[in-house]
A and B are shown apart, each in its own frame.
Chain A
C-alpha cells in the first residue's frame, strides 16, 4: 500500500516522562493501560479518542507517550494523575515534549545506583537498599504479600 504523503499524515507529539521509583514499569502494556485509564478518567472518551495516546517506549527509568499534536497538554496533565502501574505505586514526571522520539532520547540521562543493592533490617523487617546520587536511599521491603517502600536519605539511615 502506498503511504500517505507527508502533508496528509497526522501530526504527532511525543512526551517524555521519568518513572519514579526507577524500575516500577516492567511492562509497556501495563504502562499504556495506566496512562489510558488516567486520561480517560480525567478527560473522558471523546478527548482521549481524538488524542490517541500510546506508549511507544518504556524502560526502567523513562517512558515516551505519543499523542496527536494539540493534545499534548491534556495528556501531560493526565500523566500527572497516574498513581500506579499494575499494582505498583509510581509517579510519572513529565520532562519534555518533542516532535521526534530521537530528540527525547537525547534528553534521557540514566540515573545509576551509586552502589550494588544492599540488605538492611529496620525493626523486624528486611529491606533491599538502593543508593542513588544526592544521598537518596530507596528501601524495598522483602515480602511475599506487599512490597512496602521507604524513601530516605543517608542522614536518615545514620540516625536509625
Chain B
C-alpha cells in the first residue's frame, strides 16, 4: 500500500457508494482506501479497508468502545479531545489513528502525546476536508494546527496519515492534488509519500524477530 486515502465516508453518510469511491480513488492514483462506517464493498482495482471512528467523551468510554470493535475492523480512529484525553487515547490498546486534531483545543496534542504516539505506533490524521471546504479564519486556523503537528512529527517521528474524509466523489482529491494541499502547511513531497504509506505500516507494524520453530 503506497498511497492510501485514510478515510472516506460513503453512502449513507455521503452521496456516493463505497464501490464508486473506490473506482474514483483508483483513477486518482490511490491503491487503497479506508471506508468509515460504510457498507462492505469489494473492488478489483484497489484494496478497501474498514475503519471505525470512536467519538468518546471520556477515556473510560473510549476503552469500552475500542473493546467492542469486531475483527472485521482494520483500523480504529479516535476523535481527538482535550490534552488529557489525547494523551490517554494514543496509549489505549487497539487505537490506530488519532483524528480531527484541527477541532481539538489549542495545544491539545503536545510533545508528551507526540512521544507516546511515536512509541506506541499510533498515527495522527491530517484531514484535507477543512482545507478544501473552509474559507478565511477557519482555514487559517487549520493550516496553523497542521504546521504545528508537522513540527512535532519531525521532532518525535510519529506516523501521519492523510485523508480526504470525502462524503462524495467530488470531495476526493488526487495524489498530486494532495501533495499540493499539504505543501500549504510546509509538508514536503517525501513526507507526503511517507504519510500516504502509513496505513500499510499500521496494518503490519514492525515487531522484534521471533523464533517460530
Contact = CB atoms under 8 A, between A and B. Distances in A.
Given A20-B170, A134-B23, A152 B136 contact: no
B87 to A, nearest CB: 33
B171 interface: yes
B132 A81 contact: yes
Interface in A122-156: 134-137, 148-153, 155-156
Nearest to B135: A41
A151 B132 contact: no
A71 B48 CA distance: 37
Contacts of A94: 174, 176-177
Contacts of B172: 91
B177 A93 contact: yes
A151 B16 contact: yes
B19 A77 contact: no
Majority secondary structure of chain A interface residues (helix, strand, loop or mixed): mixed
A156 B15 contact: no
Q: Which of B24, B131, B169, B170 gathers most chain A CB within 10 Å? A: B170
Given A20-B169, A80-B132, A80-B173, A153 B20 contact: yes
Contacts of B11: 150, 152
29 contacts: A41-B139, A73-B180, A77-B177, A77-B180, A77-B181, A77-B183, A77-B184, A80-B132, A81-B132, A81-B181, A83-B132, A83-B170, A89-B168, A89-B170, A90-B170, A91-B172, A93-B174, A94-B176, A134-B23, A136-B20, A136-B23, A149-B168, A151-B15, A151-B24, A151-B169, A152-B11, A152-B17, A153-B23, A156-B19
Interface of B: 11, 15-17, 19-21, 23-24, 28, 131-133, 135-136, 139, 168-174, 176-177, 180-181, 183-184
